[in-house]
A = this chain, B = another copy of it.
């Protein structure tokens, strides 16, 4: 992330570009765009220091709508472009926008590599569990049995759990949120911005054209309290309707998860798990929670770890300490030479 060179104050609209937005009406992408613009405005980073990089997909049209530097690249490769850009220009605040297909299908390899390297960028994955731009084939996050144009009898591939993939690749920051959970979404984007290293955020995003309602179980206002747990470092894992009795999560000896009914949020007791965002084992557990357990939202995992770009800069700095560093004469005329007159 960039150093703040001058005091800058922006409004959200400063980050809105002059390009017409071409997503379908009702697409979840609009809400995410709006929150990203809001967060950018508040970061105090000069506008010209932002670069937004994307791959290909509906979601990847994102850079066109941001009044910053932007690069709509090719399918699946955005992490590599972002890495090169960040290494070339460590001063930039680099954001990467991608879809579930872009980053987990064709781009899966670059995705896991940027995470392990921990290049200091923000990586927002819009997961709509479908290929939007190519008109509705199943994606690597589609549930088994999904009938789509390419799977008339239902898909057979076991889906990835994106946060688990990220954890398996040793991501240093893993979070999950939802397009329409506006406040939570904004908060998580802000957290991502604040983290040094690759900040991975999975955003459940509704594609109302090809996969409408894919996240109804977590977004439905009626049941949401029962199906979602918002995790926060140091706080007990409690969920359930604010009105009714609250519930908590605990594990048994062999790490099997259990829901504890009727938990007093003020005094949840010893057995209820407390979220520790630095614990990879817990993070794995949370990332994979699915009904009948609540789906975890928020920052699931966050640790400090050296960044790749930081290391590169450091090595160069060290190398440049030597006498005659960067001296072309030395480079060319050094070594075994002889003179012919």
Contacts and interface: CB of A to CB of B under 8 A. Distances in A.
The residue among A113, A154, A285 with the most chain B CB atoms within 10 A of its own CB is A113
Given A108-B109, A156-B306, 8 more contacts: A106-B109, A109-B109, A117-B158, A156-B308, A161-B170, A167-B168, A254-B276, A284-B284
A212 interface: no
A140 B160 CA distance: 22
Interface in A224-254: 254
Contact of A308 (B112, B157, B319): B157
B116 A157 contact: yes
A78 to B, nearest CB: 14
A99 to B, nearest CB: 15
A45 interface: no
A288 interface: yes
Contact of A254 (B157, B279, B305): B279
A235 B36 CA distance: 50
Interface in A270-326: 274, 276, 279-282, 284-285, 288, 305-306, 308, 311-312, 315, 318-319
* Residue among A112, A158, A167 with most chain B CB within 10 A: A158
A199 to B, nearest CB: 15
A21 B196 CA distance: 48
A180 interface: no
How many copies of this chain are found per oligomer?
Answer: 2
A312 to B, nearest CB: 6
Contacts of A106: 109
Given A106-B109, A112-B165, A168-B169, A157 B117 contact: yes
Given A170-B164, A276-B254, A116 B282 contact: no
A306 B156 CA distance: 9
B160 A311 contact: no
Nearest to A311: B156
A278 to B, nearest CB: 10
Contact of A168 (B107, B168, B282, B319): B168
Nearest to A153: B315
A106 B312 CA distance: 22
B280 A158 contact: no
Nearest to A112: B108
A160 B165 contact: no
Contacts of A254: 274, 276, 279, 282
A118 interface: yes
A289 B166 CA distance: 19
Interface string A138-172: 00100000000000011011111100111111100
Nearest to A316: B153
Contacts of A281: 255, 281, 284-285
Contacts of A108: 108-109, 112-113
* Top-10 shortest CB links A-B: A168-B168, A156-B311, A109-B109, A108-B109, A255-B281, A153-B315, A165-B168, A116-B158, A284-B284, A117-B157
